[in-house]
Amino acid sequence: MTWDQELDASGLLCPLPVLKARKRLKAMAPGEVLRLISTDPASVVDVPHFCNESGNMLEDSHQEGEVLIYLIRRT
């Protein structure tokens, strides 16, 4: 899947990855996809919860080594 913007939140701890993603998504057009990179273990709970609460769509989430990758579509 392709994405429109990427946000590297590596090294940031809860709640910063979600807060930065929310700010970036607000600036994006509906339908665009943000690729969020995180190393925070809590993001496996925080990001899906954020998407559910905000109405944005979590298109994909997976792990690449120590890095967690999320693709979030702005609604």
The answer to whether 62 touches 36, Cβ cutoff 8 Å, is no
Judge whether 14 counts as a catalytic residue: yes
39 phi and psi, to 5 degrees?
-115, 0
Q: Choosing from 3, 5, 8, 14, which is the catalytic residue?
A: 14
Task: Report, as residue numbers or ranges, the catalytic residues.
Answer: 14
